[in-house]
Amino acid sequence: MRKSLIYSMVLTAALLSSCKGDYDDWAAPQGFDAEEAKDISVNITPAAAIDMENVTTETIQLFTASVSAPEGMEVTAYEAVLSKLDESGAAQGKAVLAVDASGNVSTKEVVSAVESYYGKNPIARKLAVTVMAYIKQGEQAFCVSSNQAEVQVTLVKPDISAAYYLVGDMVGWDEETMVKFNHSDVNVYDDPVFTISFTTTADDQYWKIIPQKNIDAGDFWANPGVVGLKTDGDDAMSGQLVNEGAGAGKIAKAGKYNMTINMMDYTYEITKAPTELYMTGTGFNNWGAWHQLTPVNSHEGNYWTIIYCNAGDEIKFSAAAAWDGSEFGSSAPMNDVAGAGLVDKSGNVQVTNAGWYLFHVLNGESKAINVYTPNVYLIGDTAGEWNVADSHKFEIPTTADGVFVSPAFAADAELRMCVSIEGFDWWQAEFIILDGKIEYRGTGGDQTRVSVTEGQKAYLNFTAGTGEIK
């Protein structure tokens, strides 16, 4: 006599839906010859925490499995599914690995899975592991899921090169044209972050990264070695880097960009480089107005301005005349050469001492706030020489509405004026008086020339943005 029999299954986790085509999900009822009902289960116990620094074999044990099945049923194969565990403990993603009955999987595949989820930073990573057991009885075949267990894997410290170089459509694809990433003087394992700024002049420009070790070995395109993205042509502005079989990343739109790479995590981020910089604060209509700084010519990301600050004024900077998330204040390094008494005030830059100041602000790959005495100079024929010299300084006023006054012009000539910012030529921070207004050179070319008479002086009101020659 035959009767229908449904095996009950004791499983900690729900059945996976990825059974092979010739295997049936064990959850579906099946008919068998009469016998006592039995349970089938696949239970796994995770291996101890794994430190890849101590692994020298091609395979590694992730778990041990215990299978309980009716007589006549045979496990023919196993698969392991590795997933990332998010902060809530939920499994994210599926990396399917071949595994034997002892729970051994390819070491390389485990490393690849961890890197794809977390990057290469060698800290303990938690992963969820579930095992699929493929079982046959006679002509019938089934797949059964195990419970979910947690394994911990720590990767080997990555090999970080002393330097990295950008190659691509925007700079060229060879050693002669590659552009070096910037880096601090700190050991690369203490500071694995490298930065670079670049400009693309057309849409859809491709890039890769060359490590110094490729250069040293005389193998420019060594693989593994060249750093890029997993998918060739990927235009994502952030994500994971790979150094084996690396594809080229893509910048979809022309423009100026900053790129940051973290070679400990093997991650990258590309952001649009700001082309403008503004400041606001308590002295600007109590945070209700924005003051635009002037770009330093030929030095992207550098800006300057001369302003009067009251004691206690608080300031912040932004790439736009708006609170758009780009704003920063005392989080940037502050270099106070002028005695302004810069301090942190809840993330704002607070000026302790009232007075006129020259602000030089870096807003590029990194940020910095430098404050100098606001020295303005005549230069050229009206000064009698083409050097920045103390004898050519303007008088600095003491009040917010005060006027900067030049020395008397040394000759009938074309007027040229500038401020002096450490590390830059005078013409990179030059300005002129046109139609009663101070006009800054900024990123432009040589300005309209203004002829003046020997003995005249220039008068500048930086608060109003006006000037006179008389």
Residues 297, 316 within the same domain: yes
* 271-330 tens-digit pLDDT: 888 889 999 999 999 999 999 999 999 898 899 999 999 999 999 999 999 998 889 999
Q: How much is the pLDDT for 350?
A: 98
Task: State the Cα–Cα distance between residues 248 and 277, nearest whole angstrom.
Answer: 32
* Final residue in a domain of this structure, among 272, 297, 318: 272
Within-domain flag for 219: yes
Within-domain flag for 186: yes
Neighbours of 115 (CB within 10 A): 19
Within-domain flag for 385: yes
Q: Which run of H or E residues covers position 232?
A: none
Residues 17, 148 within the same domain: yes
CA proximity to 341, closest of 349, 333, 283: 349
CB 200 within 8 A of CB 251: yes
* 222 CB-near residues (< 8 Å, 6+ apart): 214
* 29-81 tens-digit pLDDT: 444 443 443 467 889 999 999 999 999 999 999 999 888 888 888 888 889 99
Q: How much is the pLDDT for 275?
A: 86
Exposed/middle/buried for residue 401 (C-beta within 10 Å: 0-12, 13-18, 19+): exposed
Structure tokens at 171: 């700079």
CATH code of residue 73: 2.60.40.3640
Degrees, nearest 5: CA angle 87-41-104: 65
Residues 458, 391 within the same domain: yes
Task: State the Cα–Cα distance between residues 121 and 265, nearest whole angstrom.
Answer: 4
By three-state DSSP, how is residue 26 classified? coil
Residues 420, 432 within the same domain: yes
Within-domain flag for 1: no
Task: State the Cα–Cα distance between residues 441 and 294, nearest whole angstrom.
Answer: 8
Within-domain flag for 159: no
Within-domain flag for 3: no
Residues 12, 149 within the same domain: yes
CA proximity to 75, closest of 101, 36, 106, 99: 101
* Final residue in a domain of this structure, among 328, 347, 372: 372
Within-domain flag for 217: yes
CB 72 within 8 A of CB 35: no
Within-domain flag for 2: no
Task: State the Cα–Cα distance between residues 271 and 170, nearest whole angstrom.
Answer: 16
Task: State the Cα–Cα distance between residues 152 and 149, nearest whole angstrom.
Answer: 10
Domain extent at residue 149: 8-154
Placement of tokens 């900067």 in the chain = 404
| C-alpha distances out from residue 120 to 58, 95, 124, 289, 435, Å | 19, 17, 11, 45, 60
Alpha-helical (H) ranges within 103-252 are 107-118, 212-217
| C-alpha distances out from residue 45 to 61, 65, 118, 315, 453, Å | 11, 7, 23, 58, 92
Segments in the chain below pLDDT 70: 1-39
Residues in the chain: 470
CATH code of residue 367: 2.60.40.3620
| C-alpha distances out from residue 449 to 410, 415, 432, 439, 446, Å | 17, 7, 8, 11, 8
Task: State the Cα–Cα distance between residues 133 and 146, nearest whole angstrom.
Answer: 8
Q: How much is the pLDDT for 88?
A: 84
| C-alpha distances out from residue 347 to 43, 301, 314, 352, Å | 53, 21, 10, 15
Q: How many domains does the chain have?
A: 4
Residues 112, 203 within the same domain: no
Residues 195, 322 within the same domain: no
Residues 15, 137 within the same domain: yes
Residues 427, 387 within the same domain: yes
Q: Which phi and psi (to 5°) does residue 114 adopt?
A: -65, -45
CATH code of residue 389: 2.60.40.3610
* Final residue in a domain of this structure, among 154, 176, 209: 154
By three-state DSSP, how is residue 199 classified? strand
Residues 344, 457 within the same domain: no
By three-state DSSP, how is residue 351 classified? strand
Exposed/middle/buried for residue 160 (C-beta within 10 Å: 0-12, 13-18, 19+): buried
Residues 235, 179 within the same domain: yes
Residues 305, 435 within the same domain: no
